[in-house]
Amino acid sequence: MPGIDRASLADVLKQAGALAMQGFDPGRTGSGWEKAPNQPVTESDIAVDRFLRDALGDLDPHAGWLSEESHARPAEGRGAGVWIVDPIDGTRDFIRGRPGWALSVAYCVDGQPQLGALYAPARAELWLAEAGSGAQRNGKTIIASRQEALIGARVPTAQLAKVDRALVAVDKPNSIALRMAMVAADEADLVATLRWGHAWDVAAALLIAQESGALCTDALGKAMDFKDSDAPIFGLLCSAKGIHQAARAHLESRAQTVLDSHPHGLSAAAMRRHEDSDRV
């Protein structure tokens, strides 16, 4: 990874976070528009995306680029890395003036994240991970939840379905990456979705969670691979290792129902309709 390390990546994220904060109004509703049905975006998303594309490109000029908010660019040369970016993950919380959003950046080689960073400037939280070197939040090593029983497992959600009442609801940021980071920091035990997503949703948080000791797969229990980084991903199951198998079994019938109904991915509108019903 020429010229890339956690310190240089952190510097870029802090600068980008300062740019995002210029458009964030805590406690007040901001403005945005829908780039597609139920897919909000703001001027800050675009500005941060542009900044990151340039700044990360300086760290590795040969790396490819995949972002939620701009056109992809292939990597130059065999074995070159790819930046996978969501400039503001949790845009709805950003617009609402809530702190549950973050900048998400992963550097992947051969489909696997080698560096991952989340920066939530409204929460003053910077998460960093490097493959094989653990994960940190604000410079302190984090260790994932060691929950052994599905009963009583903490889940970031606004409301639990009847079938999930044995679980415990905890605060839910809009950012899926931050929810995964909660598992990494032992502030939650389980995060699950049963809808189609993309690499930029999870790539950075996946490495952070894995390096902290959590286990993350798609909703069917399959390992995630970002070699075809633009391919949709079916769901997410990120949890303490001790409950992953039980959580997968708990979700299996619901996951299969969604997959049978939408085998090639949901439309944007359908994804939004499923958002409050697809999680444990």
Tell me the CATH number at 48: 3.30.540.10
Residue 235 lies in a domain: yes
Q: Is 186 annotated as a binding residue?
A: no
> Does residue 218 share a domain with residue 130?
no
Residue 279 lies in a domain: no
> Does residue 159 share a domain with residue 83?
no
User: What CATH code is carried by the domain that includes residue 174?
Assistant: 3.40.190.80
Owner of token pair 């528009």: 33
**What pLDDT, on the 0 to 100 scale, is given for residue 79?**
75
Q: Is 142 annotated as a binding residue?
A: no
Last residue of a domain, one of 141, 175, 200: 141
**What pLDDT, on the 0 to 100 scale, is given for residue 277?**
42
> Does residue 137 share a domain with residue 11?
yes
> Does residue 221 share a domain with residue 120?
no
> Does residue 111 share a domain with residue 12?
yes
Q: Which domain covers residue 102, as residue numbers?
A: 6-141
**What pLDDT, on the 0 to 100 scale, is given for residue 265?**
57
> Does residue 135 share a domain with residue 64?
yes
Report residue 239: phi and psi, to 5°.
-155, 170
Q: Is 58 annotated as a binding residue?
A: no
pTM for this predicted structure = 0.92
Spell out the residues 6+ positions from residue 213 whose beta carbon is closer than 8 angstroms to its own: 143, 144, 146, 241
Digits of tens for pLDDT over the chain (280 positions)?
666 888 999 999 999 999 999 999 998 778 787 887 778 899 999 999 999 999 999 999 999 999 999 888 888 877 789 999 999 999 999 999 999 999 999 999 999 999 999 999 999 999 999 999 999 999 999 999 999 999 999 999 999 999 999 999 999 999 999 999 999 999 999 999 999 999 999 999 999 999 999 999 999 999 999 988 778 999 999 999 999 999 999 999 999 999 888 776 544 444 444 444 445 6
**What pLDDT, on the 0 to 100 scale, is given for residue 267?**
42
> Does residue 172 share a domain with residue 75?
no
> Does residue 119 share a domain with residue 71?
yes
CA dihedral 50, 55, 60, 62 (to 10 degrees): 30
> Does residue 95 share a domain with residue 10?
yes
Residue 148 lies in a domain: no
**Which three-class secondary structure string do you get for the chain?**
CCCCCHHHHHHHHHHHHHHHHCCCCCCCCCCCEEEECCEEECHHHHHHHHHHHHHHHHHCCCCEEEECCCCCECCCCCCCCEEEEEEEECHHHHHHCCCCCEEEEEEEECCEEEEEEEEEHHHCEEEEEECCCCEEECCEECCCCCCCCCCCCEEECCCCCHHHCCCEEECCCCCHHHHHHHHHCCCCCEEEEEEEECHHHHHHHHHHHHHHCCEEECCCCCCCCCCCCCCCEEEEEEECHHHHHHHHHHHHHHHHHHHHHCCCCCCHHHHHHHCCCCCC
**What pLDDT, on the 0 to 100 scale, is given for residue 270?**
44
Count of domains for the chain: 2
> Does residue 201 share a domain with residue 237?
yes
Residue 1 lies in a domain: no
> Does residue 101 share a domain with residue 40?
yes
